[in-house]
C-alpha cells in the first residue's frame, strides 16, 4: 500500500479514538448513560448503529462465498429475517422502550417473579455474554485474521518480531489484535454514545468502500451490461446463479430448507422479539416513535442498501477468478488486485470499520450483562453509579480477552455460524409469546434455552444432520423438540404471581387476547392496536422485499418489464406502511 493509503487508515483509527475521548465524561455519569446513552438516541443514529453492527469484516466474504456456491438465491439464509425485522418495528420496539430496564436480561425480573426469575436472569446473562457473544466475536475476529492473511501474503510480509518475547508473530494477528484494542479503548471510554457515534462513521466508511469496489469491479469487465452474458458463459457458474429464488428442481432438501427459511426460522430464532443489542438500541431511543423508526431505517439499510455492492463484486469475481479454491477469498482478491492508490486505503479502512463496529457493540452488549445483571444484581447491589460504570469498563476488558481466546480455538466461520443458529433455533416462540400471553413463566424460557442447546449439541456431535444440506431438517427438529418441551413445562408449572403480572402490564401495556384474564381480574384497559400493527408489518415486509428485488434487477441490467412492477409494488407497500405508522 502507498503512504496515502496508510494515512487514510491511520486517520480512521484516530477518528475512532477521538470520538471515544469526546464522550468519556457523559458516559461516566451513570450506568444508564454508559449502557443506554441516557435514553436519548435519535432514530437515525440508533438504526445506523444496528446496521453497522451486522456489517462485520466477515459479511462481504460470507456473501461472496454464498453467491459463488449457491447463487444470489443463497442469500435467503438471511433475507428471510425481513419479516422478523418488521415484527420488531411494529410490535416490539415500543414495548422494549416502555420497560424502563437497562438490558433485555433485566426484563426477566420485570416479567416473571420469584427465585425462578432470578435464576433465569443469571443463566441468560452468562449464556448470552459468554457463550453467544464470544462465538460471534470469535468468528468476526477469525474472519479479520483471514483477510489480513490474504493481504499480507500478497505483499510477502508474513510476520513481525516481538522484541520483548523475542519471537515472530503473524502480521495478520498483530493487526487484528490492534484493531480489537482500538475498539476496546473507545468503547471503554465512551459507552454506548461512543459506540453508536463511531458506528455511524464506520458504516459510512464501510459502505463507501463497498460501493467503490463494486463500481471499479463492474468497470473492469466493461460495465453492467456484460455481467449477465459473461456469467452465463463462465464455466465456474451455472445460469441459476442469477436467480433471486431457488430452483424448484434443486432437490427436496434444498426446497425444505427454503421452506424453513420462509416459514420457521424468522420467528423461531433466539432474538425473535428484537432483544439483545437490537433491544438495547430500542431502549436507548428518545421515545417509542424513535424506537420504531430506528427499526424501520435499520431494515431498509440492512436489506436494501447493503447487499448489492457485495453481490456485484461476488458476480464479477466469478468471471475474473473462475477457479478459486476458497470461494470467500474472491472479495479480498478483488480488493487487492483492482483498487488504486487512495481507494485501497479507503477499502482497508472500511474493512477495519466493519470489523470494529461489530466488536464495539458486542463488547458493550456483553459487558452490560456482566455488570448490570450479574455483578450489580447478585454480587454488589448497593454500590454507587460510578462504581457500576467502572465495573462495566472492566467487564469490557474481560469480554475482549475471552473473544480473542475464542477466535484462537475456532477453525470454521461457517460451522460457528450454523451452530449459533442451531442453539437458538427453538427459543423464539417463547420470546414472542412472553409479551402477549400471561401464562408464559420463567420455566418456559429455561426449558426452551436448555432444550435447544442440548438438542443442537447432540445433533452436531452424534448425527450426520450437522451437514450443510440438512440445515432445514435440523432446524425443524430443534424447534419441534424445544416447543413441545417448553409448552408442557408451561402448562404443568405454576403461573407467575398475578401481582407481578399486573405491574408488568401497567408499565408495558402489551394488550392482546392473551392478557384478557389479567385485564378482567384487575380492571385494566388495553391500548393495543393489533390490526394496524399487523397491516404495518405485512406492508413493511412487502416494501422491503420489492425494493430489494427491484433494485437488484435494475443494477444487474434486467429488462424494465421485470423490475418496474416491483418498483410500483414497493411504492404502494411503502404508502400503506407509512399510513400504519400514524398514531
Q: Where are the alpha helices (DSSP H) in 463-497?
A: 471-492
pLDDT of 349: 83
- The rounded mean pLDDT for the chain is 86
Question: If you average pLDDT over residues 496-524, what whole number do you get?
Answer: 90
Please state which of the ranges 6-15, 18-27, 233-242 shows the lowest mean pLDDT.
233-242
3-state secondary structure of 21: helix
| Residue 302 in grid coordinates | 440492512
Higher pLDDT, 445 or 577: 445
b/e per residue 140-152 (b: at least 16 CB within 10 A): bbbbbbbbbbbbb
Structural domains of the chain, ranges and CATH numbers in brackets: 3-410 (1.20.1730.10)
Burial class of 567 by CB neighbour count within 10 A (0 to 12, 13 to 18, 19+): middle
Exposed/middle/buried for residue 101 (C-beta within 10 Å: 0-12, 13-18, 19+): buried
Mean pLDDT of 164-177: 64
Among 81-85, 129-133, 260-264, which stretch is predicted with the lowest mean pLDDT?
Answer: 260-264
pLDDT at residue number 324:
82
* Whether residue 159 has pLDDT greater than 60: no
Position with higher pLDDT, 126 vs 77? 126
> What pLDDT digit, counting tens, does each position of 390-408 carry?
999 999 999 998 888 888 8
Name the pTM for this structure. 0.89
Give yes or no for residue 157 having a pLDDT over 80: no
**C-alpha 89 chain-centroid distance:** 15
pLDDT at 3: 82
> Is residue 231 pLDDT above 70, yes or no?
yes
Q: How many CB atoms lie within 10 A of CB 559?
A: 8
CA 349 to CA 5: how far, in whole Å? 9
Question: 422: Cβ–Cβ under 8 A, 6 or more apart, which residues?
Answer: 452, 456, 459, 460, 474, 475, 478
Q: Which of 272, 238, 296 is nearest to 43 (CA)?
A: 296
Instruction: Report which listed range, 71-80, 275-284, 352-361, 488-497, is most confident.
Output: 488-497
- The pLDDT confidence band at residue 331, using thresholds 50, 70 and 90, is confident
Instruction: State the pLDDT at residue 44.
Output: 95
User: Can you give the pLDDT at residue 338?
Assistant: 85
Contact between 173 and 161 under an 8 Å Cβ cutoff? The reply is no
User: What is the band of 268 on the pLDDT scale with cuts at 50, 70, 90?
Assistant: confident
Q: Using the predicted structure, report yes or no on whether residue 543 has a pLDDT greater than 70.
A: yes
The pLDDT tens digits for 41-51 are: 999 999 999 99
Does position 421 have pLDDT exceeding 90, yes or no? no
Q: What pLDDT is attached to residue 152?
A: 65
pLDDT at 250: 55
Amino acid at each position: 500500500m502507498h503512504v496515502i493509503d496508510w494515512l487514510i487508515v491511520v486517520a480512521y483509527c484516530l477518528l475512532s479514538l477521538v470520538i471515544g475521548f469526546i464522550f468519556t465524561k457523559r458516559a461516566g455519569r451513570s450506568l444508564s448513560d454508559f449502557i443506554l446513552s441516557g435514553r436519548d438516541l435519535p432514530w437515525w443514529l440508533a438504526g445506523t448503529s444496528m446496521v453497522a453492527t451486522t456489517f462485520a469484516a466477515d459479511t462481504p466474504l460470507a456473501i461472496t462465498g454464498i453467491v459463488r456456491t449457491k447463487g444470489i438465491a443463497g442469500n435467503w439464509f438471511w433475507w428471510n429475517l425481513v419479516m422478523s425485522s418488521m415484527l420488531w418495528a411494529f410490535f416490539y420496539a415500543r414495548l422494549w422502550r416502555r420497560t424502563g430496564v437497562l438490558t433485555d436480561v433485566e426484563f426477566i425480573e420485570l416479567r416473571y417473579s420469584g427465585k425462578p426469575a432470578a435464576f433465569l436472569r443469571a443463566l441468560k446473562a452468562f449464556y448470552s455474554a459468554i457463550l453467544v457473544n464470544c462465538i460471534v466475536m470469535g468468528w468476526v475476529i477469525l474472519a479479520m485474521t483471514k483477510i489480513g492473511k490474504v493481504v499480507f501474503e500478497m505483499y510477502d510480509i508474513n510476520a513481525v518480531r516481538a522484541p520483548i518475547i523475542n519471537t515472530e508473530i503473524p502480521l495478520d494477528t498483530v493487526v487484528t489484535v490492534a484493531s480489537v484494542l482500538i475498539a476496546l479503548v473507545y468503547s471503554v471510554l465512551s459507552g454506548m454514545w461512543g459506540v453508536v457515534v463511531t458506528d455511524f462513521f464506520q458504516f459510512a466508511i464501510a459502505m463507501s468502500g463497498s460501493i467503490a469496489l463494486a463500481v471499479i469491479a463492474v468497470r473492469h469487465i466493461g460495465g453492467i451490461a456484460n455481467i449477465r452474458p459473461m456469467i452465463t458463459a463462465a464455466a465456474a457458474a451455472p445460469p441459476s446463479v442469477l436467480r433471486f429464488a431457488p430452483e424448484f428442481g434443486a432437490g427436496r432438501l434444498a426446497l425444505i430448507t427454503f421452506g424453513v427459511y420462509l416459514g420457521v426460522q424468522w420467528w423461531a430464532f433466539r432474538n425473535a422479539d428484537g432483544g439483545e443489542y437490537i433491544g438495547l438500541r430500542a431502549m436507548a431511543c428518545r421515545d417509542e416513535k424513535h424506537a420504531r423508526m430506528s427499526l424501520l431505517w435499520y431494515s431498509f439499510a440492512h436489506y436494501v442498501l447493503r447487499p448489492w455492492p457485495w453481490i456485484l463484486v461476488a458476480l464479477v469475481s466469478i468471471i475474473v477468478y473462475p477457479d478459486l479454491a476458497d470461494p470467500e477469498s474472491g472479495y479480498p482478491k478483488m480488493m487487492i488486485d483492482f483498487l488504486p492508490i487512495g481507494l485501497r486505503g479507503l477499502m482497508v479502512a472500511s474493512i477495519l470499520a466493519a470489523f470494529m463496529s461489530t466488536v464495539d457493540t458486542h463488547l458493550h452488549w456483553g459487558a452490560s450483562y456482566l455488570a448490570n445483571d450479574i455483578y450489580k444484581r447478585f454480587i454488589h447491589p448497593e454500590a454507587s453509579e460510578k462504581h457500576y460504570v467502572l465495573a462495566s469498563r472492566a467487564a469490557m476488558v474481560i469480554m475482549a480477552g475471552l473473544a480473542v481466546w475464542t477466535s484462537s480455538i475456532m477453525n470454521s466461520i461457517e460451522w460457528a455460524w450454523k451452530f449459533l443458529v442451531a442453539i437458538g433455533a427453538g427459543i423464539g416462540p417463547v420470546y414472542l409469546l412472553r409479551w402477549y400471553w400471561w401464562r408464559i413463566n420463567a420455566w418456559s424460557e429455561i426449558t426452551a434455552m436448555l432444550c435447544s442447546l442440548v438438542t443442537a449439541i447432540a445433533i452436531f456431535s452424534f448425527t450426520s444432520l450437522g451437514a450443510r444440506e440438512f440445515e432445514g431438517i435440523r432446524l425443524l427438529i430443534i424447534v419441534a423438540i424445544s416447543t413441545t418441551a417448553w409448552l408442557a413445562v408451561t402448562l404443568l408449572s405454576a403461573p407467575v404471581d398475578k401481582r407481578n403480572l399486573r405491574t408488568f402490564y401497567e408499565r408495558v401495556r402489551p394488550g392482546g387476547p392473551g392478557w384478557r384474564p389479567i385485564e378482567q381480574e384487575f380492571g385494566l384497559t388495553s391500548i393495543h392496536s393489533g390490526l394496524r400493527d399487523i397491516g404495518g408489518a405485512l406492508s413493511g415486509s412487502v416494501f422491503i422485499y420489492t425494493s430489494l428485488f427491484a433494485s437488484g434487477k435494475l443494477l444487474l441490467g434486467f429488462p424494465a418489464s421485470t423490475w418496474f412492477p416491483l418498483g410500483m409494488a414497493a411504492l404502494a407497500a411503502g404508502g400503506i406502511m407509512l399510513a400504519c405508522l400514524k398514531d
